[in-house]
Amino acid sequence: MNIRHLVESQQFTVPLLMELFERTRAMEKIVARGGTRDYERSIMGTLFYRPSTRTRFSFESAMHRLGGRVLSTEHANEFSSEIEGEKLEDTIRIIGHYCDVIVLRHHEDGGARRAAAVSSVPVINAGDGTGGQHPTQALLDLYTIYRECRTLDGLSVALIGALDQGRTARSLAYLLGKFDRTKLYFIAPEEMQIKPDILDYLDKHGVSYECSATAGDILSHADVVYQTRIDRARLQKSDIDLTPYNIDGAVLSRMKDDAIIMHPLPRSVEIDHAVDDDPRAAYFRQTQNGLYVRMALLTMLLESE
Amino acid sequence: MNIRHLVESQQFTVPLLMELFERTRAMEKIVARGGTRDYERSIMGTLFYRPSTRTRFSFESAMHRLGGRVLSTEHANEFSSEIEGEKLEDTIRIIGHYCDVIVLRHHEDGGARRAAAVSSVPVINAGDGTGGQHPTQALLDLYTIYRECRTLDGLSVALIGALDQGRTARSLAYLLGKFDRTKLYFIAPEEMQIKPDILDYLDKHGVSYECSATAGDILSHADVVYQTRIDRARLQKSDIDLTPYNIDGAVLSRMKDDAIIMHPLPRSVEIDHAVDDDPRAAYFRQTQNGLYVRMALLTMLLESE
Amino acid sequence: MNIRHLVESQQFTVPLLMELFERTRAMEKIVARGGTRDYERSIMGTLFYRPSTRTRFSFESAMHRLGGRVLSTEHANEFSSEIEGEKLEDTIRIIGHYCDVIVLRHHEDGGARRAAAVSSVPVINAGDGTGGQHPTQALLDLYTIYRECRTLDGLSVALIGALDQGRTARSLAYLLGKFDRTKLYFIAPEEMQIKPDILDYLDKHGVSYECSATAGDILSHADVVYQTRIDRARLQKSDIDLTPYNIDGAVLSRMKDDAIIMHPLPRSVEIDHAVDDDPRAAYFRQTQNGLYVRMALLTMLLESE
């Protein structure tokens, strides 16, 4: 099984996901042993048009743990002092001479697809546009559920927050829809509820779901609570009470003993720091899984060369 | 033969150019084999006072393919949070303790020469000032002609664009003047024609040339067409028609079958994207050659230690 | 002897200083031999919330000479494009998954202590706040005196400049106070004289010192002259003559033959460039020692893992 570029999470079939996750599990062991030098002749270029230190560090650490090397910029728009901007396609063609894989964060929706279309080396989408894709986040989210719950079948997953714009929640809903007996709960203020395109997709694939403005009893039987941030400035009624969408000790006490709490981070007030020490708080393990998933992905793409 | 620092392209005699190009050819083969680890104990510092991601990546990729390591900054003016600017000479003395070769892009003409004068390690000028030098660009341009045309003698080379300010065109004219039976054509709007200092140099060395405001029949018998960008904002008459200075399919159809089109990139409208797929379009191969030339140069300077 | 994090220079006892300096001496020899690869599986993350190219390069070069790898940012405040700032504690918890040691420059006093409190990997304070600590600078200063004077006992050390705010001068005074028969001279405009907390500390430990507005005869019998910058803008009387606080050829001629002049750099006018070539000018050797001290420190912290 083979992919050349990673543009969007939709590229992943269930068998390809399982292959990726098997590799990811192997990467955990490799890191525990101190990494490998198998890729010491490979160069990864991280070409970020918008800074995102966490995502960049995660990819770069992954490449270093594989033994590889890194070219890095967080200000790819300063590509040249001579001309204001150059076509992304030209940039990709040139950078492809300097490295063996390109990790691209672009500010325009579809930027990664345009890059992949002309690139001589594999391109990994590390987030494009605001309504665009961030597929490695979706993959590490799914892997975290798989790793923590030991299965992806028959799970009840509650997604909470600004679900209309949250590309992580959207992508996760999409990927979970591929597995048997998934039950999804979308919990959000009405104006931020998940968009119809996702619901249409779930309907078509016979996935069970509920939309709700309040968590009610849902969190007490969910296997996974996936929390995202609500940007208060986006709310029309500024006096709306957002605390029902937050997770604190009281919410925690109602959750199942083997449930997990996830968050793509960075967080604001929506998860109380008192929750951090509970073993069900999986969000820091989630970021760590990002390292392993990205290592696994890099090996898949570099082998496809 | 030996150089300690690379400050300007004038340092290169024909025998030194040939030595560099022989090394460059060897580097192509080394990269095809996956690079070397011969320089794994060497550190290159890229000290850029102005960002230029492409040039920086080219140098850093070169160092990585040699097995070496890289310290990197694109904002060397933020050298310290405590004092506004420090003398370049002090900075170079200090950075020389941290690396084995310094790649410097400085915003002042003559910055590289000042750095070389005090540096304890080799300094490579990666562009200084606006009217200054960018010698590795000149060397990769010349190497590209040598590689594509298999000779540097007896070539007809047309240089098109804003030749008065274009340091790449100026440097290339200078270097080509060292070879036998070169014929140069300078094609530019009158106010942007190549400056007399270059013409004086060519006269002194008996190099044949023509200056012209229009390409006319020149492009149909040129071996090399070196295209540069014209900044419309610099033109006094804003209604001047610049299309005669562009290259498109029609121009291409008049060119010789074994001619090549070069451009230092980034480009704007002056080369139509329809030209990219023609085998005579050499500008992406040209940037790739930058990698090999910089590898070769790094080995020359690190050996001179 | 063991330290887990380096937060402040006060962590160092005399025996720990001596262990560090012994390691530092060994690092000088390792660098002379071209470095080591002992730490080739280790990753250092340099997390700078304020740019400081010199300090960053010094740490990164240290890690490279040890064979290790580096993740780097000078703009850690651009940690995410999605949320304005995230709690430092969350950032540290996440970055700890991606590297084996974190070098932190933070803009708030106490930032390093907060980071160390939650970090799963060693944290090195590379400067926090303005009134905060910069312990590796203090250590390299002390090592330079030890290396140049071959002892730390019985030295007469003159500290000149804006001593009230100068964290380097303050830390050095603190560390020198640990050694036998130290004599300190604080030379500064009255309004910039060293603060009472340091003098209290020296009194308590029976360290001999003098405060003075002028150098007078002090420099002629000092073993070490530690010069720092005076920011003229901070002076209430803008017509005050600062030249008595500068070092030039005349001052040099009065100094002992085996005395040394130090400066944390960058300098402004306070040390004349004519002094640079005198063997007593130790400030460039001082920055070089920063490399060796940081290598030694990294090995101590990585071994404590």
pLDDT tens digits for range B95-132: 999 999 999 999 888 999 999 999 999 999 999 887 67
| C-beta of residue A172 within 8 angstroms of C-beta of residue A138 | yes
Report the domain count for chain C: 2
> What is the CATH number for C200?
3.40.50.1370
Instruction: List chain A residues with CB under 8 Å of C79.
Output: 51-54, 266
pLDDT in tens, B226-268: 999 887 777 766 677 888 899 999 999 999 999 999 999 988 8
Place of tokens 């664009």: B161
Same domain, C108 and C197: no
Instruction: List chain B residues with CB under 8 Å of A38.
Output: none
Min distance B181 CA to chain A CA atoms (Å) = 33
Q: Which amino acid is at A100?
A: D
Same domain, A81 and A48: yes
- The reply to whether B153 falls in a domain is yes
pLDDT exceeds 80 at position B83: no
All partners of chain C with 3 or more CB pairs under 8 angstroms: A, B
Beta pairing, strands C43-48 & C69-73: parallel
Confidence of residue C82 (pLDDT cuts 50, 70, 90): very low
Same domain, C64 and C85: yes
Same domain, C128 and C46: yes
| C-beta of residue A206 within 8 angstroms of C-beta of residue A178 | no
pLDDT exceeds 90 at position B79: no
Structure tokens at B167: 């340091």
* Cβ distance of B266 and A43 shorter than 8 Å: no
CB pairs under 8 A between A and B: 69
- Residues C157-179: what's their mean pLDDT? 93
Same domain, B220 and B266: yes
CB pairs under 8 A between A and C: 70
Min distance B100 CA to chain A CA atoms (Å) = 19
The CA distance from A289 to C117, in Å, is 23
* Cβ distance of A284 and C81 shorter than 8 Å: no
Min distance B32 CA to chain A CA atoms (Å) = 11
pLDDT exceeds 80 at position A232: no
- The reply to whether C3 falls in a domain is no
- Which chain C residue shows the shortest CA-CA distance from A28? C97
Task: Say what the pTM is.
Answer: 0.95
Which distant-in-sequence residues (6+ apart) come within 8 Å of A8 by Cβ? A112, A113, A125, A133, A135
User: Between vectors from CA C300 to CA C297 and to CA C305, what angle results, nearest 5°?
Assistant: 130
Min distance B113 CA to chain C CA atoms (Å) = 18
Torsion sign over Cα B263, B269, B271, B277? positive
Which distant-in-sequence residues (6+ apart) come within 8 Å of C206 by Cβ? none
Q: How far is CA B131 from the centre of its chain?
A: 14
The CA distance from A206 to A196, in Å, is 15
- Which chain C residue shows the shortest CA-CA distance from A59? C98
pLDDT exceeds 80 at position A57: yes
Structure tokens at A274: 């008192």
Residue A14 DSSP label: H
Same domain, A206 and A221: yes
Q: How far is CA C207 from the centre of its chain?
A: 21
* Cβ distance of A81 and B287 shorter than 8 Å: no
Same domain, B92 and B181: no
Confidence of residue B81 (pLDDT cuts 50, 70, 90): very low
Confidence of residue A84 (pLDDT cuts 50, 70, 90): low
Structure confidence at residue C100 (pLDDT):
98
- The reply to whether A3 falls in a domain is no
Same domain, C257 and C173: yes
* Cβ distance of C82 and A34 shorter than 8 Å: no
| C-beta of residue C91 within 8 angstroms of C-beta of residue C121 | no
Rg of chain B (C-alpha set): 20
Same domain, B123 and B151: no
pLDDT in tens, B168-218: 999 999 999 999 999 999 999 998 999 999 999 999 999 999 999 999 899
pLDDT in tens, B11-20: 999 999 999 9
pLDDT in tens, C260-276: 999 999 888 899 999 99
CB pairs under 8 A between B and C: 70
Same domain, C85 and C45: yes
For residue C296, give the nearest of C140, C84, C123 by alpha carbon.
C140
Structure confidence at residue A1 (pLDDT):
57
* Cβ distance of A80 and B266 shorter than 8 Å: yes
Q: Pick from C61, C229, C288: which is nearest to B43 by CB? A: C61
Instruction: List chain A residues with CB under 8 Å of C45.
Output: 57
Q: Pick from B35, B37, B61: which is nearest to A71 by CB? A: B61
Which of A81-90, A105-114, C136-145, C253-262 has the lowest average pLDDT?
A81-90
* Cβ distance of A291 and C90 shorter than 8 Å: no
Instruction: List chain B residues with CB under 8 Å of C53.
Output: 47, 73, 75-76, 78-80
* Cβ distance of B94 and C268 shorter than 8 Å: no
Q: What is the DSSP string of chain C?
A: ---S-B--GGG--HHHHHHHHHHHHHHHHHHHTT---TTTT-EEEEEESS--HHHHHHHHHHHHHTT-EEEEES-GGGS-SSSS---HHHHHHHHTTT-SEEEEEESSTTHHHHHHHH-SS-EEEEEESSSS--HHHHHHHHHHHHHHHS-SSS-EEEEES-TTT-HHHHHHHHHHTTSTT-EEEEE--GGGPPPHHHHHHHHHTT-EEEEESS-TTGGGT-SEEEE----GGG-SSTT---GGGSB-HHHHHHS-TT-EEE--S---SSB-GGGTTSTTB-HHHHHHHHHHHHHHHHHHHHHT-
- The reply to whether A143 falls in a domain is yes
A241-267 per-residue burial string, b: 16 or more CB within 10 A, e: under 16: eeeebbbeeebbeebeeebbbbbbbbb
The CA distance from A253 to B234, in Å, is 69
The CA distance from C282 to A174, in Å, is 64
The CA distance from C23 to C31, in Å, is 12
pLDDT exceeds 50 at position B82: no
- Which chain B residue shows the shortest CA-CA distance from A93? B284
| C-beta of residue A263 within 8 angstroms of C-beta of residue A287 | no
- Residues C23-27: what's their mean pLDDT? 98
* Cβ distance of A229 and C78 shorter than 8 Å: no
* Cβ distance of A54 and C80 shorter than 8 Å: yes
pLDDT exceeds 50 at position C56: yes
Q: Pick from B40, B41, B79: which is nearest to C54 by CB? A: B79
Residue A11 DSSP label: G
Question: Best mutation site among C54, C137, C271, C277 for testing chain B: the one with the most B CBs within 10 Å?
Answer: C54
The CA distance from A160 to A140, in Å, is 18
Question: Best mutation site among A97, A100, A102, A120 for testing chain B: the one with the most B CBs within 10 Å?
Answer: A97
Say whether the ipTM exceeds 0.90.
Answer: yes
The CA distance from C62 to A144, in Å, is 36
* Residue B141 vs residue B108, higher pLDDT: B141
* Cβ distance of C74 and B79 shorter than 8 Å: no
- Residues C242-248: what's their mean pLDDT? 90
- The reply to whether C189 falls in a domain is yes
Please provide the distance, in angstroms rounded to a whole number, between the alpha carbons at the two ends of chain B: 13
Domain hosting B194: range is 135-286
Q: Pick from A34, A229, A287: which is nearest to C97 by CB? A: A287
Average pLDDT, chain B: 92
Q: How far is CA C77 from the centre of its chain?
A: 24
- The reply to whether A2 falls in a domain is no
- Residues C80-108: what's their mean pLDDT? 85
* Cβ distance of C74 and B75 shorter than 8 Å: yes
| C-beta of residue B76 within 8 angstroms of C-beta of residue B111 | no
Beta pairing, strands B101-106 & C101-106: unpaired
Structure confidence at residue A82 (pLDDT):
44
- Residues C8-25: what's their mean pLDDT? 96
Q: In degrees rounded to 5, what are phi and psi of residue B122?
A: -60, 140
Average pLDDT, chain C: 92
Q: In degrees rounded to 5, what are phi and psi of residue C159?
A: -110, 125
Torsion sign over Cα C304, A276, A172, A207? positive
Q: In degrees rounded to 5, what are phi and psi of residue A159?
A: -110, 125
pLDDT exceeds 60 at position A60: yes
Structure confidence at residue B84 (pLDDT):
53
- The reply to whether B114 falls in a domain is yes
Which of A31-45, A238-252, B49-63, C117-131 has the lowest average pLDDT?
A238-252
Instruction: List chain A residues with CB under 8 Å of B50.
Output: 81
Same domain, B141 and B278: yes
* Cβ distance of B94 and C265 shorter than 8 Å: yes
By three-state DSSP, how is residue A40 classified?
coil
Confidence of residue C81 (pLDDT cuts 50, 70, 90): very low
Structure confidence at residue A142 (pLDDT):
98
Same domain, A88 and A57: yes
* Cβ distance of A97 and B54 shorter than 8 Å: no
Structure tokens at B258: 């074994």
Which of A278-287, B79-88, B292-301, C119-128 has the lowest average pLDDT?
B79-88
Which of A254-263, B136-145, C38-47, C71-80 has the lowest average pLDDT?
C71-80
- The reply to whether B269 falls in a domain is yes
Residue B37: Cβ within 10 Å count? 11
Exposed / middle / buried, residue A232 (Cβ in 10 Å: 0-12, 13-18, 19+): exposed
- Which chain B residue shows the shortest CA-CA distance from C107? B81
pLDDT exceeds 50 at position C209: yes
